[in-house]
Structure 1
Amino acid sequence: MPPLKSLPVFETVARLNSFSLAANELNVSQSAVSHQIRILENHLGETLFHRQGRNLELTAEGRHYLDVISNSLLQIAQATNQIKGEQETHIRLAVYSSFAVYWLIPRLPELKRLYPNLELSIEMSHGSPDLSDRTADLFITTKQEKRGFCFKPLYKEELFPVCSQHYLETIKNKLNVTSHKELTDKLNTIPSPLAKFSLITSYSIYDRHTEDWKCWFSSQKQSLPSTVQFHRFSHLMLAYEAAKHSLGIALVNDYMMNEKNDEQALVKLPCNAFETGDNFYLAYKESRKNEDAIQYLRKWLAEEAKALA
């Protein structure tokens, strides 16, 4: 067995990425923290942290050891709380930033109403979150490869054209249409008249600009015209906001078009959508599936996501 006193010290340093912050949390001196890490490294015969000035980083061996022991430490704490009659109600959810802002946060009052004792911390991520206890307890991710994890389908992503109410009037005037049927017929002709308008493209889904619109035109069996004028943004959230301010037509997905969302709702144009190929999953460790907080949150998320299916 390793020196057991050193294990929670190691977990705290790794989680906070700081010897001084770990010392504050554990209410000990920084030298005491360093001493326990040294004892553990000597026992393992491995260096667990790279130290370069003020920068601290786990080594490959440190990351592996943390992944293995963190869940064991958590289970010990949970077993202790159960014996003491204490229920863990705090849970961390790692989620993509646009999903959190446009879909999750507007629904949190309802979650609080249903589970008033549940304490939720949200960890926003631009890319796929690292599936690890040191990141979160529950994850919304497009990745489905991690040993020891359960993955439950949540949402299959589609993108479709949207614009503001004001820009919709610009489209109608330019296409010389007045009714919704006329607009639908006109927008679904080939070649698509959307190429006549300013299009908003984002980088975040395909890792390059204009690829989203290339995929949309390809789904309509058309090529993206070279004459299109683009407004380029790094993230889907920025494209969404640009469309709200009548900069042009953007491609967004269902969870961003949230009816509970805001006063300046975007208009979904009567055009076809296309699948991006990304499927969203709810992920959690198999060993933690029976924890009350995880069961509450995963059940609620699954029920709310049915509306997107």
Structure 2
Amino acid sequence: MAQDRLPPLRALKTLEAFHQSGSVTATARALNVSHSAISHQLKQIEDWAGIRLMRRDGRQTALTEAGDSLAQVINESFGAIRHEIDRLTMREKLPVSVAALRFVIPNWLLPEIEAFMAEHPDVSVYVQEHISDQPVSPEPDLLIGFSLDGQVPPGAEPIIPGAAIPVCAPSYQARHAIGGEADLARATLLHDEDMRMWRTWFAAAGLAPQYEGETRRLFFSGSALICDAARQGLGVALCREALIEPYLEKGELVRLSDIRIDNASVYYLALSQHGMNRRAAIALADWLAERNRGRWKPADSRRRRSRQAGAE
């Protein structure tokens, strides 16, 4: 075992008090000990450090530059400990923080959390948006992320398939007489910034590359806006099938093809190290994972698979 590099706790406490009070007499009064006891503790930490931490001018004692620096670090460290101790009694009452991609929150996460809280009325939950490829600060207890190739972080669990299909509003389908895959060549396609998904889908459908060039395009920053635009009848979108089930069931969107892309992709659930130490966070993670095990069947193996590239 490595040698302990910390001086005696009492000596650290004494140095902190001296730094705050500015004199041995005031420190002795604050700690309710004798003047000589304070001098002894200050001498003990100075001996431990091996350098001068105190300078004495007659009967006055003051900190050297090194002593002042060490005292400030001690003060900050003790402050952090005091703050954490104050939070211990309420830590389990703090909301469980969950970060998820914007499209996931209304279409999957909120209904699940509503059901969870009905069975766990003593647990509060804080939901925040997670922007893809950007870290969430502070780190949440639970993260709902996306993996295009199906590879998830260590300890994470895949919970929602990410396969995408072409959809549009019934009104758009009626106006443009879309009856098959080839009809999408003349549709207004709704894209994110990189246009990867439509290129992949046209290739999977066996349509010639020039079809994409003949279509009109609208661009949006993310899946949520693309889906909203499709529901408003602005064009045809490639949406994650599992997340648009409510819109399909209510008839707000219609499937235009059974050809799926991104069949390997998944949304996954990951507990942070902090979340692993919270019973409420573990309970919510277990709930979300259990509710979705076996809910979705793997994509039909007869459907054509496409090369995976790009991001959600």
Larger-gyration structure (1/2):
2
CA contact (8 A) 1:140 1:281 kept: yes
Q: Matched residues in 1 for 2:229 and 2:71: separation?
A: 52
Offset of 1:163 from its aligned partner? Answer: 0.7
1:32 paired residue number: none
Q: Equivalents in 2 of 1:297, 1:73: separation in Å?
A: 29
Change (3 A) 1:250 1:76: same
Say yes or no: does 1:245 pair with 2:232: yes
SS in 1 for 2:284: helix
* Aligned partner (choices 197, 200, 218) of residue 212 of structure 1: 197
- Equivalent residues of 1:94, 1:140 under 8 A apart: yes
Counterpart code for 2:103? S
The runs of 5 or more residues in structure 2 that have no matched partner are: 1-5, 14-67, 298-312
Residue 141 in structure 1 maps to residue 149 in structure 2: no
CA contact (8 A) 1:102 1:255 kept: no
Change (3 A) 1:284 1:216: same
Residue 156 of structure 2 is aligned with which of 117, 127, 151? 151
State the partner residue of 2:3. none
- State the SS of the aligned residue for 2:113: helix
Count of aligned positions: 226
> Contact 2:271 / 2:285 at 8 angstroms: preserved in 1?
no
Asked if the contact 1:244/1:264 (under 8 Å) is kept, the reply is no
Q: Deviations over 1:250-271 (max 9, x none)?
A: 1110343142899662112233
Query: Which amino acid letter does the alignment assign opposite residue 199 of structure 1?
Result: L
1:184-217 deviations in Å (ceiling 9; x for gaps) = xxx25xxx221122111122xxxx1x22100111
CA deviation map 1:160-191 (0-9, x unaligned) = 111111122234xx35xxxxxxx4xxx25xxx
In structure 1, the partner of 2:288 is 301
Aligned equivalents of 2:126, 2:263: Cα separation in 1: 29
* Structure 1 alignment gaps of length 5 or more: 6-37, 49-69, 176-182
Amino acid at match of 1:217: F
After superposition, residues 80-91 of structure 1 pair within 5 angstroms as 80-81=88-89, 87-88=92-93, 90-91=95-96
- TM-score w.r.t. structure 2 length? 0.60
| Equivalent residue, structure 2, for 1:54 | none
Q: Closer, same or farther in 2 for the Cα pair 1:145/1:304, shift >3 Å?
A: closer
Aligned with 1:107: secondary structure?
A: helix
Aligned amino acid, residue 216 of structure 1: W
Within the candidate set 200, 203, 206, 2:190 is matched to 200
Contact 1:89 1:293 in 2 (8 A): no
- Answering whether residue 279 of structure 2 is matched by residue 275 of structure 1, we say no
Letter in 1 for 2:184: L
Q: Taking structure 1 as the reference length, what is the TM-score of the superposition?
A: 0.60
CA–CA separation in structure 2 for the residues paired with 1:118 and 1:93: 13
CA 166–215 in structure 1, closer or farther in 2 if over 3 Å, else same: same
Q: Secondary structure at the match of 2:143?
A: strand
Q: Indicate how the Cα distance of structure 1 residues 87 and 216 shifts in structure 2: closer, same or farther if over 3 A, else same.
A: same
Q: Which amino acid aligns with 2:196?
A: E
Cα gap change, 1:170 to 1:227, in 2 (>3 Å): same
Query: Cα–Cα, structure 1 residues 221 and 119, in superposed 2: closer, same or farther, change >3 Å?
Result: same
